[in-house]
Structure 1
Amino acid sequence: MHDLLVIGGGINGVGIARDAAGRGLKVVLCEKDDLAAHTSSASTKLIHGGLRYLEQYDFALVRKALIEREILLRAAPHIIWPMRFVLPYDKDLRPAWLIRLGLFLYDHLGGRKMLPPTKTLRRGKTDRLDPLKAEFRLAFEYSDCWVEDARLVVLNAVDAQTRGADIRTRTACTGLVRHADHWEATLKGPDGERTVMARAVVNAAGGWVDAVLGLAEPGRTQKHLRLVKGSHIIVPRWHEGDHAYFFQNGDGRIMFAIPYERGEFTLIGTTDVPFEADKDNVVISQDEIDYLCAGASEYYKRAITPADVVATYSGVRPLYDDRAANASKVTRDYVLNCDRTGGAPVLSVFGGKITTFRELAEHALKELAGDFPGMGPAWTRDASLPGGDIPRADFEDFLTGLAQRYDWMAPDLLRRLARAYGTRVPEVLGDATDVSGLGHDFGAGLYAAEVAYLIANEFAVTAEDVLWRRSKMRLHLTAAQQEALAAWMEQNGQDRGATGAT
């Protein structure tokens, strides 16, 4: 008998599983696809307070997210790092005093300690405005953080497993039967069907949360979700520097232009489009590509066209339906609903931001505290994620130490590995004393040693898992190289990784 069955391997599901396992609960998590296969790998890759939510007077959400921003930066300084954002002033949109007031609140609402404050930029005194059209003579530069979103999910799952959770990927929950004091769940995975008993269910299925509730309550028709598609485009590097841009559009929306993949590309997004199609097949539309190109071109000197787009990705945000008329105004905060009608509890998670997943997990377990009186106290606030136990959260100092230890490795490769694995880099490299010890090079510095580590320790099963969610190496490998990786994984990883580490 398990204490908790968590359905859903996105950021909220793995965050809850990790927290619960660390409190001593016996946890099993099932995910019908790969970890972070949907919404949690399709974000704008930011750990942020959400500057635009200040205009909606959602101060509580912004404060909560800003507090979490620094907690997460300390917990995972390898996959989360500070980034400066340049917000050009457009006299035809929001007045300068209003922007400055909003940024003052943004600097102070969350008790900022680790990040530098906002400053004013003027053309001629900074090169930050050089890539932009001449009319943008004033800008404001503020701080937020970048995150490797899919890796954040995977590392939570790895930590949950280390603490005793049973993580089952490629495993769908196909049946739920409620009893007075437990649930009987049918899980269908690579090895067939199995029955799991659990005292409580957490429904963190994202866009499928209503479908899971339908399993728990046959005949249920009430829906709580509002699905909104967000799409991004990736273009070659469009500006120098490691800073990002925050663009205000004339329709009231905003978009970001962010250095991507070691600065070789620029990521531009996002859109907010109501979505009612197949959640397993979410793709960008031509209208969205045109919208993002046109929006960024309003600011950049050099226009971006659809022909410049080298890759795209899209995801569906499963937002709590608060009946807002405008899709971009629907609340991004989460809502928890714990139902004990007729027996054992099912706690459903609606909405939420990747930034607040840890706080959401604490809140979820507080809701279930009465069902598990022996459960341990909250613990994640001061705990590192795997690879994140870097002294003083000083990544550059840590990298300097790695470079001394692995002086035979190319600096760019070592930095990429350090960003992905942090203090676990030695586990990835094993006993290698030169590049030949890493095995076959699939291209762009992706070696067999790293792929084998991902299969054995990070639930990777397919080439897509490795190339898009454990890394973004798909942007750097040719089609032939990707096919070679897929063939190698099929031969070497077929018995590992499907439901967890070996």
Structure 2
Amino acid sequence: MMETIYDIAVIGGGVNGCGIARDAAGRGAKVLLLEQGDLASGTSSASTKLIHGGLRYLEHYEFGLVREALSERERLWAIAPHIIWPMRFVLPHVKGLRPRWLLRLGLFLYDHIGGRRALPATQSVDLHKHPAGKALKPGYGPAFVYSDGWVDDARLVVLNARDAADRGATILPRTPVTAMEREGEGWLIHTPHQSFQARAVVNAAGPAVLDLLNLSGENTAKKMRLVRGSHIVVPRLFDHPYAYFFQIPDGRIFFAIPYQQDFTLIGTTDRDHHGPLKDVKASEEEIAYLCDAANAYFERQIGPGDVVWTYSGVRPLIDEGTGKPEAATRGYSFDLDEDAQGRAPILSVFGGKITTYRHLAKDAVEKLKGHVPGLSGKDWTADAPLPGGDFPIDGIEALKAEIAGSYRFLSPATVDRVARAYGTQARLWLSDAQSPTMLGQDFGHGLTKAEVDYLVTREWACTAEDILWRRTKLGLRLDAAQVAGLKAYLGE
């Protein structure tokens, strides 16, 4: 028997869905979030992991999108300084590609149209003298160094869901929607084991947004372009903290980014995706393409055999009839449909990028005001820290020192990982431990029973994959026996 009637049912547990659930719950709405898999198991954990304005979008005259994204960079950094931090990017000038004056103009706009305050401004450098030049092949001299941000994308999603739940939302991963229809003044939503009632639905299904609309019997004139972006991870190609923004002769760009201390992340590709949305993988051609692109710049050469991990995601972009996939807009839009009596709204989210998720969520909730009685209040998420992020933007080193001092048995690598993942909430599972044994079984590389139990009870983790590739990135480090031990503990 269904007793609870939710104000809003959000369908989709990616960054947009979890951001909308958090915003709406914080405004007093009774919120339900349904996700067919694990939180962030699709596109939202397969990004290039950047909080950035999108420098290359200036070439496509997406000034409004870039301005909005740039204005969000420092705002997101301020509310989640444990999982978001600044990064400096090196953009070498390459003869025969974009002229130096064009790069300088683009970076001038990048520095000035988004309200940059705390991030350092662009500088001109000589790679013959700059630390970033040592890893590159000879011949690269003039370059620009500019600022953007890094994000642990999967944890950004989970922390939004956690905050939504702390504000009263019901979060149900691994709960696929099988059918839905309007009933009375609301929606009846069916899942394999339970049905739910809600006054309004938010369709935040990402690449499956049209599929969900079809399931609900709704129509839209919008068309989606599904674009696959693939990344590769290789052993570290350089030992400095700078990332690289590289140009390719085909007109595209790619990034090479320091990753998890011992690795380099290289991406991304842009390929139209026509296959299923489950188990999206990098093709051999994409892997070779990224290796060749890196080999054009780095002294150390790599091949597919050097790749230790790949990941791919499908971006749900609005189809505006542009030619190349990389030219498709990263902006977002909404469709708000109601029945003839103005009841039972469904709001569908089209497009978007991880940097603008909070702004998108605010806009989505604003559109539902007046349609959902339980919604009240104004935009509040711009200044409210995400769980664990209640410390100054320049306070991560102090937090690490505090954790290291309180838990002297933790290795420096574990201290860094724990501080970056959990921020001030690390103590929720470290508790009063004074030795490794007090944290229980060690599954390898500092992952203990205490942490695993926390991820299961507080962050909806169910499987080793959830823990090793989304809640942490320890899948890069645990060997087969250690993974088997974790699976055994979880009952897989």
- How would you bin the TM-score normalised by the shorter chain? over 0.9
Q: CA deviation at 1:121?
A: 1.1
The corresponding residue for 1:132 is 136
The corresponding residue for 2:357 is 357
1:432 aligns with 2:430: no
Residue type of the partner of 1:21? A
Residue type of the partner of 2:325? A
Residue type of the partner of 2:299? K
- 8 Å CA contact 2:233–2:309 kept in 1: the answer is yes
1:103 aligns with 2:104: no
1:273 aligns with 2:271: yes
Distance (Å, rounded) in 2 between the aligned partners of 1:347 and 1:124: 53
Q: CA deviation at 1:394?
A: 1.7
Counterpart mapping for 1:193-342 below 5 A:
194-217=194-217, 220=219, 224-261=223-260, 263-342=261-340
Distance (Å, rounded) in 2 between the aligned partners of 1:217 and 1:393: 50
CA deviations 1:349-382 (Å, max 9, x no partner) are 0110000000000000111111135522211010
**Any idea what SS the aligned residue of 1:312 has?**
strand
Distance (Å, rounded) in 2 between the aligned partners of 1:304 and 1:315: 23
Distance (Å, rounded) in 2 between the aligned partners of 1:61 and 1:326: 19
Q: CA deviation at 1:114?
A: 1.3
Q: CA deviation at 1:209?
A: 0.6
Q: CA deviation at 1:130?
A: 1.2
Residue type of the partner of 1:256? F
The corresponding residue for 2:94 is 90
Q: CA deviation at 1:409?
A: 2.2
The corresponding residue for 1:4 is 8
Residue type of the partner of 2:62? D
- 8 Å CA contact 1:214–1:221 kept in 2: the answer is no
Q: CA deviation at 1:444?
A: 1.3
1:173 aligns with 2:167: no
Distance (Å, rounded) in 1 between the aligned partners of 2:96 and 2:201: 51
**Any idea what SS the aligned residue of 2:81 has?**
coil
Q: CA deviation at 1:177?
A: 0.9
CA deviations 1:9-60 (Å, max 9, x no partner) are 0000000000000000000000000000010000000000000011111111
Distance (Å, rounded) in 2 between the aligned partners of 1:97 and 1:183: 55
Distance (Å, rounded) in 1 between the aligned partners of 2:401 and 2:427: 14
Q: TM-score, normalised by structure 2?
A: 0.96
- 8 Å CA contact 1:74–1:393 kept in 2: the answer is no
The corresponding residue for 1:496 is none
- 8 Å CA contact 2:223–2:319 kept in 1: the answer is yes
Distance (Å, rounded) in 2 between the aligned partners of 1:411 and 1:127: 25
Distance (Å, rounded) in 2 between the aligned partners of 1:417 and 1:81: 15
- 8 Å CA contact 1:7–1:202 kept in 2: the answer is yes
- 8 Å CA contact 1:183–1:344 kept in 2: the answer is yes
Report which stretch shifted further, 384-393 or 76-85.
384-393
**Any idea what SS the aligned residue of 1:173 has?**
coil
Report which stretch shifted further, 427-436 or 346-355.
427-436
Distance (Å, rounded) in 1 between the aligned partners of 2:128 and 2:206: 47
- 8 Å CA contact 2:78–2:392 kept in 1: the answer is no
Residue type of the partner of 1:212? L
Q: CA deviation at 1:206?
A: 0.7
Residue type of the partner of 2:245? F
Residue type of the partner of 1:225? M
2:146 aligns with one of 142, 145, 164 = 142
Report which stretch shifted further, 387-396 or 244-253.
387-396
Return closer, same or farther for 1:327/1:392 CA change in 2, 3 Å cut-off. Answer: closer
Q: CA deviation at 1:119?
A: 0.6
Distance (Å, rounded) in 2 between the aligned partners of 1:84 and 1:275: 31
Residue type of the partner of 1:155? L
- 8 Å CA contact 1:20–1:365 kept in 2: the answer is yes
Q: CA deviation at 1:468?
A: 0.4
The corresponding residue for 1:498 is none
- 8 Å CA contact 1:259–1:265 kept in 2: the answer is yes
CA deviations 1:318-359 (Å, max 9, x no partner) are 111111111110000111111113441100001100000000
Distance (Å, rounded) in 2 between the aligned partners of 1:29 and 1:309: 36
Q: CA deviation at 1:304?
A: 1.8
Number of equivalenced pairs: 485
1:25 aligns with 2:29: yes
Residue type of the partner of 1:160? A
Q: CA deviation at 1:179?
A: 3.5
**Any idea what SS the aligned residue of 2:18 has?**
helix
**Any idea what SS the aligned residue of 1:293 has?**
helix
Distance (Å, rounded) in 2 between the aligned partners of 1:187 and 1:115: 46
Q: CA deviation at 1:269?
A: 0.3
Q: TM-score, normalised by structure 1?
A: 0.95
1:489 aligns with 2:487: no
Q: CA deviation at 1:393?
A: 4.6
Distance (Å, rounded) in 2 between the aligned partners of 1:303 and 1:412: 28
Unaligned runs of 5+ in 1: 492-502
Report which stretch shifted further, 372-381 or 445-454.
372-381
Q: CA deviation at 1:303?
A: 1.8
Distance (Å, rounded) in 1 between the aligned partners of 2:185 and 2:249: 54
**Any idea what SS the aligned residue of 1:485 has?**
helix
Distance (Å, rounded) in 2 between the aligned partners of 1:411 and 1:18: 33
Residue type of the partner of 1:227? L
Q: CA deviation at 1:281?
A: 2.0
